[in-house]
Structure 1
């Protein structure tokens, strides 16, 4: 990407974190591998670059190689000094308030995530209960959990690389949700993550909803590729993709899926893997796949892939609604009413879905490498939730190779990740990936020709 004009500025806190301990300050200044400086700088630059069309973290970091961010202690707290920051984050020399909020949300979540686990006696990173509690504490610290509020939060998933027509459709769905008083949670980036939020703001304005929520949930590896859009009024950064996905399903009361690429496919496989667990059979959780009439073929392909990989039972967990935003919103409203009734009967919290069973295979971080990608168990001779889990990891690796800094470096050094397994699973997978590429769902419009970060190889391991 081309570097834009830059600005130097001293920034006061906005709403999230105003004081730090000496230990926290030292960790944020620490530029070694164990320090937090590089992570903080990367996430801060992504936030300051809101609105730019790039989905390559490496490109962003290289374009602003001279960007720096420093902590400036003050008698009453602290300020942040930004050096060579994108000028688009400022108006008449003042940083946009939304971006200032996001910048301090980055600081808040990076500091908290790095200290909370170490402060809990006996915390284990391989213990499912401990991991769920960690996610709860991060969300609570960010004030994303509101006790007493009726269920109203719709999670919207979909591609950041979509057509103008698909964006307009996602906006109209958001509008219909807003008219019915529902709030929006997305991955916080552009495309199908921004459209529903933008539409909901109009619906909320018409209904005089003054407490509408536009929650963006992200993680450090993806924030550079999907910087928070300016409508997000609550930004939360989880430590990794697995905790981000769990945060979506724990806080959301229903999920809408718009057309997308491998990231959206990863989210679908994660969600279905959870909902197919026997312990979750009776938990209401509305899921709708939706798009324009010209997207019908896309969802037919997704549906075929799911039925082939996970069986017809998996297809019972979602409803496909084509070109009917009002019906999507009505279906979601009805589903969330059922969620509320169930939670009340079970005395489960409205703000966090404690009852949902999440198998450790969906919680433990998957590190995509050439070895781990090649070793994935992609065959049907295993429980269906494990098929979903391993396919989810395959998609996660492709996402990493496409847009995450570490994944891009690995692919540049060692070539595409190889994906091997049973052709019964991999042939439809290859067909779907080819369709994503043909439909320009792997990179932002205007980028150069997509260079695959993966290679499907025949046979086993």
Structure 2
């Protein structure tokens, strides 16, 4: 790697830039994209402008891992002159970086975990686009084709393997949580790690980092070196939230729907910690699957958990779900508050049942093929003002359809709060309009108001303006 040059930081317009930037550096992959043909490297180097900009933003977020600021727009402004170029060479490609965050380097060398994440992003965003999308070997129309595409992306990243045992616990939860909730998520991760479980999260901060950190300590105590810390993201999210430094296997799925499908198909059990609208979206996606009649035979444990101090959070979630979807929804999840060891013991017992079922059904341990995911949950949702206003949030429809509509509503609210394109759309056109009736409207409005009141959004409460308005339908 070239010895990078440092550029001193500066302060302009009230925003603070980092104390040092790397003017120029080059870096090569290790065990990722290390064997490419000349044609493949040329395609990476000549990616179109939109694909290059997407990779540039994701690369900047990765290089800002554990950086001085976690506000995506401030990072973009501070590093407006950051750029990355793919350089083909006879012995393999390299990346050239310009004006990169200094925190990604130590004594002139890029931190190894960040280098691995950087080339994982290149693999998933550019290489997968070229090999699978441009060559039209993905069927993204049929439900079966989408499931196959998700598998192939995960296989390309070496996440699905033939020699794994059922021990991967997916952990969902908010990036903006209290210190008490973060410490509890670490304790749960520790309890899981002591029992040999690996962790998969959305790879960001907060409840996505805590379980990994706790599990890492437990794995070290148990002298367990065969460990996995899987992070699943998508371009819009990773560009707004840097992956945490504990992630050892980073995969960037093409969109939020394929990311969610990847979570549930690789999971052997799922834990949900306190969170905000993104966590609510994930819950809706999973319940839409678990409540579908075709999945009545599928074992996939779901536990809601938080510290005792956060019991009111899950009481609110539970009440919302029962009001919207009926009392039968409660049989699909368990709530355990304030007892990390009980969570781990419950998960261990449930995953034994998952293992037995997979063996009986001759199902893969690494990827659940037999789980049915309704097509309405697989199709990408563009949270435009028109599409958000067209959502039908009422109980006079099958539960799985209402769950799909609620999932889309939460997806749009995530975009309006976190993703750059959504934030800009709300600034330009005003808040999204959501239409519904009865218990659904009241429950949704109350739940979202609670998220704002309790600070469960990564936004300064003093300057926050809701990105949505709820309007009752006649």
Question: What range describes the TM-score normalised by the shorter chain of this pair?
Answer: over 0.9
Equivalence map 1:58-457=2 (5 Å): 58-114=73-129, 115-120=131-136, 123-443=138-458, 449-457=463-471
Q: 1:54·1:225 contact (CA, 8 Å) conserved in 2?
A: no
CA distance in 2, matches of 1:223, 1:57: 10
CA distance in 2, matches of 1:190, 1:250: 23
State the Cα distance separating 1:228 from its structure 2 match: 0.8
Which shows bigger deviation, 54-63 or 93-102?
54-63
Residue 10 of structure 1 is matched in structure 2 by 26
In 2 relative to 1, CA 27–423 (structure 1 residues): closer, same or farther, beyond 3 Å?
A: farther
Normalised TM-score (structure 1)? 0.96
CA distance in 2, matches of 1:447, 1:347: 51
Unaligned runs of 5+ in 2: 1-14
For each residue in 1:28-63, what CA deviation from the matched residue of structure 2 results, as whole angstroms up to 9, or x when unmatched? 544534xx2111111111111111375643333222
CA distance in 1, matches of 2:45, 2:410: 32
For each residue in 1:80-134, what CA deviation from the matched residue of structure 2 results, as whole angstroms up to 9, or x when unmatched? 111011001111111000000000000111123313134355x432211111100
**Equivalent residue pairs, number:** 456
Q: 1:378·1:390 contact (CA, 8 Å) conserved in 2?
A: yes
Q: 1:27·1:37 contact (CA, 8 Å) conserved in 2?
A: no
For each residue in 1:141-171, what CA deviation from the matched residue of structure 2 results, as whole angstroms up to 9, or x when unmatched? 0000121211000000000001111100000
- Secondary structure of 1:316's match? helix
State the Cα distance separating 1:427 from its structure 2 match: 1.0
Equivalence map 1:42-57=2 (5 Å): 42-52=57-67, 56-57=71-72
Residue 32 of structure 1 is matched in structure 2 by 49
RCO higher in 1 or 2 (8 Å CA, sep ≥ 6)?
1
CA distance in 2, matches of 1:32, 1:172: 44
Q: 2:307·2:338 contact (CA, 8 Å) conserved in 1?
A: yes
Q: 1:24·1:111 contact (CA, 8 Å) conserved in 2?
A: no
Q: 1:56·1:404 contact (CA, 8 Å) conserved in 2?
A: no
RMSD of the alignment, in Å? 1.6
Q: 2:55·2:126 contact (CA, 8 Å) conserved in 1?
A: no
